[in-house]
Each structure stands twice: as structure tokens, then as C-alpha cells.
Amino acid sequence: MSSLSKSDEGRPDADAVSGRWDGVDVNFGEEGGRLTYGSYLRLPQLLDQQRLESDPPAHDELLFITIHQVYELWFKQVLHEMTASRDAMLSGELWLAQHLLRRVHTIERTLTQQIDVLETMTPQDFGQFRHRLSPASGFQSVQFREIEFLSAAKDPAFVKRFRGLTDDERVRLEQRLAEPTLWDAFLVVLRTAGFGTDTDDDLREALQTVAADRGQYGAIWELAEALLQHDELAAAWRARHVVMVERMIGTKPGTGGSSGAGYLRSRLDLRYYPQLWELRTSL
């Protein structure tokens, strides 16, 4: 018998004999028996990854691990969207590139908001297990460095300074260093539109022309704004993060050996697209 309801009868794309829809096997409901919510999301494996190092177990260590694992999942999604946005720019699909960057913006706001959850942990509670983290450090987040490299802040020195990189992680970082960035793709967009980008003056003139004629260059302008928004939200996350670290550990050194909040403050002036910020002065 068909698993389709009577309301589906007579529709040209419903195959009442095989239970297929548009040529694809359809098995909604318990009779499908192929996947469950838990098996699709691999929940047994996922929920088994929060392994506490403290002994006796510190209550807030679960929160600390969960927050950072969630960060890494969002980083994975951000890289997925940014890579696709770059490729869309390179293929001339400006609407798609902008759409994917807007999704990145929403995720970046979520990343900043997650700090509120982490700050429900007091310095005393963090102190119960922080000593067990050394020499692990957020500095060692490979995906975060991939995001920076792909955005345009490439720095080969980071690869040399990483501790405990696996062969696969080193390959990923070296690939990000070698491949085009979002900014490289945007320059291709400008050149495709007939602008020069070889010199700083060429690029400045191109951006000013785009900004002055949004009727003709609206898609390029909106894409530039989407890149600037990404830059701004990344800067907002860095600023929020350093204040959180100061609230938690003051001026103590980081568990990975860095200067802690001091190092993070040294990164606050980082801008992925300084040319887009400088453009504001001439508008």
C-alpha cells in the first residue's frame, strides 16, 4: 500500500505504488525505519564528548566544555558559508555571496551572545578546574585561524607557533594560506566590473566610484557592506572576548603560555578590510 495520504492522490509527482516522490524514495513516519532523530544527529556520540578533566568533578567544567564545543561547531559552519561565499564571488554570483555572508553575520552575533552564558561562571568556579587545562588554549583553535586566514588575515607565523598540530590540521592551515581569501574574490568582482585593482590608488578610485553610483554598482556595494559587516562583527567578538577573559582571570597568563588578556588586547585593532574602513573618510 502507498504511504501517501488521500490528499496526495492524483498528483502527477506521486507514485502510489512505489512510495516515491519526484523519483526519490519517501518513507516518512515510523514505517520508514531508516533514521531516528538521535541516529541522524549521532547524539550518542555527540553527547559522549563532554569529558571532564577535574577530579573531583567541578560543576562548571561541563559548561566550559559545552560552550567551546558549540563554538567549534559554529566555526565549522562559518567556514562552510565563507568558502561558498568566496566561490560565489569568483563565479560572479554576487547575490549568493551576499546571502551567505548575511548568514555568517547572524552566526557571529550568536557567537558573541554565547559569552553571556559563559559569564554565568564565576572566577572562583573557573579556578576549580582551570589548572587542569594547561597547556591547552583557545589560541590552538585551528578552525578559528582558518576563519582569519580565509577572511584575509593570513599569518604563516601562527602555523609555526601552534602546539600539537596533527598532520591533517597543518595541511588545512597551509591550504588556507595558499587559497584565495574573501578579499581576493572581491577584487576579482571589481576587475570583472572593469575596475583596476593593481595599485592602492586604483583600488581607492574603484571603491569611491562604486560608492558614488549605487544605481549602477548596487550589487558590488552591498557585497562590500557585507564584508565590512563581517569585519565589524569579528572585531566586536574579539572586544567582548577580552573583557570576559579579564573578568575571569584578570592579568594572569593564558593556559597556553600567552600573556592572556594582554595578547588578546593586542589583536583588537585587527581589521580584515582596512580599505573599506578608509573609504568612509572620503564619503
Q: For residue 133, what pLDDT is reported?
A: 83
66 appears as a binding residue in the annotation? yes
Summarised one tens digit per residue, pLDDT across range 160-171 is 877 778 999 999
Query: What is the H or E stretch that residue 14 is in?
Result: strand 14-15
59 appears as a binding residue in the annotation? no
130 appears as a binding residue in the annotation? yes
132 appears as a binding residue in the annotation? no
Q: Which of these, 204, 218, 191, 215, lies nearest to 277 by C-alpha position?
A: 204
Going by C-beta distance under 8 Å and a sequence separation of 6 or more, which residues neighbour residue 70?
A: 114
195 appears as a binding residue in the annotation? no
**Angstrom distance (rounded) from CA 138 to CA 260:** 10
- Whole-model pTM: value is 0.86
64 appears as a binding residue in the annotation? yes
* CB 150 within 8 Å of CB 182: yes
Summarised one tens digit per residue, pLDDT across range 116-141 is 999 999 999 999 998 888 755 667 88
In this prediction, residue 19 has a pLDDT band, given cuts at 50, 70 and 90, of low
67 appears as a binding residue in the annotation? yes
110 appears as a binding residue in the annotation? no
Q: Where are the alpha helices (DSSP H) in the chain?
A: 37-40, 43-46, 61-90, 94-118, 123-127, 142-151, 156-161, 167-178, 182-192, 200-212, 214-249, 261-266, 274-282
For residue 221, give the amino acid letter.
W
Region of poorest pLDDT, from 42-56, 123-137, 196-210: 123-137
Summarised one tens digit per residue, pLDDT across range 223-250 is 999 999 999 999 999 999 999 988 888 8
Percent of the chain with pLDDT over 90: 70
Q: What are phi and psi of 203, to 5 degrees?
A: -65, -40
Q: For residue 266, what pLDDT is reported?
A: 82
Summarised one tens digit per residue, pLDDT across range 166-198 is 999 999 999 999 999 999 999 999 999 999 999
CATH T-level fold of 58-282: Methane Monooxygenase Hydroxylase; Chain G, domain 1 (1.20.58)
**Angstrom distance (rounded) from CA 142 to CA 147:** 9
